[in-house]
Amino acid sequence: MMSAFSLTDRHALVTGANTGIGQAIAIALARAGAAITCVGRRSCAETVDTITAAGGQAKEVLVDFSDPMAGVDLFKGAEIDILVNNAGIIRRADAVDFTEADWDDVMNVNAKAVFFTSQAFAREVFARGGRGKIVNIASLLSFQGGIRVPSYTTSKHGVAGMTKLLANEWTKSGINVNAIAPGYIATNNTEALRDDPERSSEILGRIPAGRWGRPEDIAETAVFFAAPASDYVSGAVLNVDGGWLAR
């Protein structure tokens, strides 16, 4: 009997798969049996090598989502079943000093690219009469305001809303759309916070789990959303945060 968490014979495309959360998700999906297309602005060779060394299937495609339409041709003829929209960037500055360039850069990658990449994926799935899963990476700042990250907060609120909108439209046609909202995870995006002793101490003091999250903490949740186990789940935004939002 096949496990409800098996991804055998499935093909997943993971954006931002070169490092951090995206890398961990790609590896976890491969471990569950999926073939992986690793997409990144920088080389995903390390991720591909890790997957293939363990006996999995993986390849890389270089795409820079600073052009939010850069992903629209990724799915043509590829028969991708699972899309993980993980690629994202952050800019930090006081709201009173925040620049238009920093606003646009973040919104293009974190929101506009997510929508149009998802649209391209859906068109291909519908054209072949298939089924699919979309897993978006949201944030705790899909629920909260944050500090000194105005465009990031706005984009991640947008990802949460977009997830629900697309679920409303596409679930009946065979594509489940869900999102994971990571808490404070030890990645490049949180390096500035972890390097600030006062801010890091404040954050750790509020997390019931008592530690920064690891990319692997997010990866297994992505497997659930990609697998048959979640076939009746759509439009969910699940916080994986060590209990942060419960405080």
**Can you give the CATH number for the domain in which 145 is found?**
3.40.50.720
Q: Where are the alpha helices (DSSP H) in 61-190?
A: 100-107, 113-127, 150-170
Closest CA to 104 of 85, 119, 89, 120: 89
129 lies in some domain: yes
Closest CA to 126 of 171, 168, 70, 73: 171
| Predicted confidence (pLDDT) per residue in 190-206, tens digit | 888 888 889 899 999 99
Place of tokens 């899963």: 133
d(CA 75, CA 66): 19
d(CA 58, CA 45): 10
Closest CA to 85 of 150, 35, 159, 142: 159
146 lies in some domain: yes
pLDDT score, position 190 = 83
95 lies in some domain: yes
110 lies in some domain: yes
CB 56, CB 47: distance < 8 Å: no
Structural domain of 62:
11-186+215-239
| Predicted confidence (pLDDT) per residue in 44-66, tens digit | 999 999 999 999 999 999 999 99
Number of structural domains found in the chain: 1
199 lies in some domain: no
Q: Extract the residue ranges of the chain whose pLDDT is less than 50.
A: none
* Catalytic sites, residue numbers: 152
